[in-house]
Amino acid sequence: MKVAVLGAGAIGAYVGAALHRAEVEVHLIARGEHLQAIRRAGVRVLTPRGDFTAHPHATDDPTQVGPVDHVFLGLKANSYASAGPMIEPLLHGTTSIIAAQNGIPWWYFHGLKGPYEGYRIESVDPGGAVTTALPLHRAIGCVVYAATEIERPGVIRHLEGTRFSIGEPSGELSERCLAFSRAAVEGGLKCPVERDLRRDVWIKLMGNIAFNPISALARATMAGICRHDGTRELVVAMMRETVDVASRVGCDPGISIERRLRGAEKAGEHKTSTLQDLEKGKPLELDVLLAAVVELADLTGAEVPTLRAIHAVSDLLNENLVRAV
């Protein structure tokens, strides 16, 4: 098996290092000091499960890699539309694209029977640009239940969780999913192949849709948001509206809001990826989180006043951030 990791940051490099341990041919596509450090000394993973170092090939040029069996996308979703030129050299006839993203994926209604089958979510896939870059027939969904960070170039700190749930939009237990899962498990990850990955999408989103923008607006950790009575109530309201939208597009996350809150509290003084991006002056990954669910609320007639309000102020924050860059 040959795998390219496009966007070998904290999550991508961690997955690539694990796959390399399973003797998969891994190619990390990275840039800057992180790339140079990996070339010099490999990927060092610091983890409670036992530190290790992997030495996969690393480059900033996909043409040096050539066609692969799987492209694992570690990019932020707001980079997908422009990723086509980087992905094209990695593709052959049956290459899959495994997108490890937060929020609602561009493939969400692909192959989903019902009144919205084939609907393109404009806020996620503006003008079909993402579908053009990442063809739907290649898409494998991936929901990440792991927390990692780049401690320094070439060094990944694994904080918690090893689960990367994957699945076909069609719900099929395909051989391409099963093969990737076997390799990931051999490398030390949990990688269940789910028939209904959309349920995992909404479970993860229940937390992301509330904690990520609030953390950026309040400059607060997840535990800090939970401790404050006002923001805790705000999270509950946002989760409740999100579950309503999910049910209207035919999905029951199957987890209570209180249980989802308890899971977030366990993360402690953890900064969400959105807050980390804000502190680094990077654009915020909000469209697939908030804008997408507000769009689905408009599509289905759901009332989501809290989501609309938080979307408005966080979107303005992001616009100001982009202008400053």
Residues with active-site annotation: 204
C-alpha to C-alpha distance for 57 and 72, rounded to whole angstroms: 15
Q: How many residues does the structure list for the chain?
A: 325
What is the rounded CA–CA span in Å between residue 86 and residue 306?
A: 38
Q: Is 141 in contact with 105 (CB distance < 8 Å)?
A: yes
Q: What is the 3-state secondary structure (H, E, C) of 109-161?
A: CCCCCCCCCCCCCCCCCHHHHHHHHCCHHHEEEEEEEEEEEEEECCEEEEEEE
Whether 139 and 107 have beta carbons less than 8 Å apart is answered as yes
Distance CA 256, CA 122 (A): 29
